[in-house]
Amino acid sequence: IRLYVDHPLAEGQSIPLERDQAHYLFGVMRQPEGAYVALFNSRDGEYVAEITQAGKRGGELTCRIQSKPLQLPPDLWLLFAPIKKARTDFIVEKAAEMGTQRIVPVQTEFTNSERIRQDRLQAHAIEAAEQCGGTYVPEVAGLHRLDRILADWDPERQIMFCDETLVGAAQALQAVESGKWAILIGPEGGFSEAERKRLHALPFTHAVSLGPRILRADTAAVAALTIWQTHLGD
Ligand code: SAM
């Protein structure tokens, strides 16, 4: 069992459990006092912790020994236009599993959803990190307009702009270097002509094709993450 906790971790440190974590550990997973679980917090790596108090509404764990150092994912963000709920959940889950530091839902001209449940998406990122053995949970940002995000963009962070109007193989990443990056995926309706023009004109964007077929946005996110990790990941 692995749990994310928003608490400092160190040998001997005791960690109070929140009600839902206690319910999961003791009610669902039936773990008794004296059992061990793995904890991580995106800062201190992973620790083996002993259940030192088990109650119905809470409990306490005590960190015994570090089992993994912190493994930061590459400095990669995923910007994507939210789509239907289940598909958006899927994108967040896969981005957390594949290694990103930040997940940023963006509102583009043709984005249908105007709201997202940021807390729900963050919970999905946590679950994915717990499940895949990672020691870092990417932060899920709130929904912001793409034009505003681009207006304040750090020019040192390069953007892999997935443009469905390009055809052919994804070659644009061959001559670039690692460092700060973001992947940008559009909504079901694609990018508008004006957005595409602006994105192509920015000095920090690299327009790429993900192949000759138009992929659904959730497939495109996984394909783009895989291509980026192959060329620039560690
Ligand atoms: N509505 C658009 C159309 O029919 O042409 C398709 C949009 S696609 C479902 C959603 C997003 O996935 C696109 O905006 C793009 O970012 C990405 N995408 C899908 N297929 C792609 C491809 N072959 N190359 C680059 N990006 C792609």
**Which H, E and C letters describe 49-84, residue by residue?**
EEEEEECCCCEEEEEEEEEECCCCCCCEEEEECCCC
Residues 106 and 216 in one domain: yes
Q: Is 164 in the pocket of ligand 1 (CB under 6 A)?
A: yes
**140 plus 176 within the same structural domain:** yes
Distance (angstroms) between ligand 1 centre and the Cα of 109 equals 14
Q: What is the pLDDT of residue 173?
A: 72
Q: What is the pLDDT of residue 234?
A: 72
Q: What's the structural domain count of the chain?
A: 2
Domain endpoint, select from 68, 85, 103: 68
Residue 167 and residue 118 share a domain:
yes
Q: Which H helix or E strand runs over 86? A: helix 85-98
* Residue 160 contacts residue 181 (beta carbons within 8 Å): yes
Q: Among the three residues 51, 68, 85, which one is the final residue of a domain in this structure?
A: 68
Q: What is the per-residue pLDDT across 166-202, written as a single tens digit (0 to 9) for each?
A: 877 666 677 778 889 999 999 999 999 999 999 999 9
Helix and strand counts by DSSP (H, E) for the chain: 6, 12
Q: Does residue 210 have a pLDDT over 90?
A: yes
Task: Judge whether 229 and 99 are in contact, CB under 8 Å.
Answer: yes
Q: Is the CB of 169 under 6 A from ligand 1?
A: no
For residue 158, the domain's CATH number is 3.40.1280.10
pLDDT tens digits for range 211-225? 989 999 999 999 999
Let me know whether 153 and 51 are in one domain.
no
Which residue's CA is minimally distant from atom 13 of ligand 1?
A: 186
Bridge partners, 14 (sequence order): 62
- Decide: helix, strand or coil at residue 146: helix
**ipTM score of the complex?**
0.96
Q: In this structure, are 48 and 163 located in the same domain?
A: no
Q: Out of 68, 87, 113, pick the residue that ends a domain.
A: 68
Mutate-to-test residue for ligand 1 from 91, 162, 222, 226, highest number of ligand atoms within 8 A of CB: 162
Q: Find tokens 């990417």 and name the residue.
A: 138
Ligand 1 near 219 CB (within 6 A): no
What is the domain-level CATH number for residue 55?
2.40.240.20
pLDDT digits (tens, 9 = 90+) for 57-115: 889 999 999 999 999 999 999 999 998 889 999 999 999 999 999 999 999 999 877 78
Alpha carbon distance 201, 81 (integer Å):
20
The whole-angstrom separation of Cα 217 and Cα 116 is 16
pLDDT at 171: 64
Residue 118 shares a structural domain with residue 54: no
CA of 127 to the centre of ligand 1 (A): 28
pLDDT at 169: 64
Does ligand 1 have an atom closer than 6 angstroms to the CB of 215?
Answer: yes
Residue 48 pLDDT > 70, yes or no? yes
CB 109 less than 6 A from any atom of ligand 1: no
Q: Answer yes or no: is the C-beta of 45 below 6 A from any ligand 1 atom.
A: no
pLDDT in tens, 107-150: 999 987 778 899 999 999 999 999 999 999 999 999 999 999 99
Confidence of residue 232 (pLDDT cuts 50, 70, 90): confident
Distance 214 CA to ligand 1 centre (A): 5
What pLDDT, on the 0 to 100 scale, is given for residue 112?
Answer: 75
State whether the Cα torsion 201-207-212-215 is positive or negative.
Answer: negative
**Is 53 in the same domain as 144?**
no
**pLDDT of amino acid 170:** 63
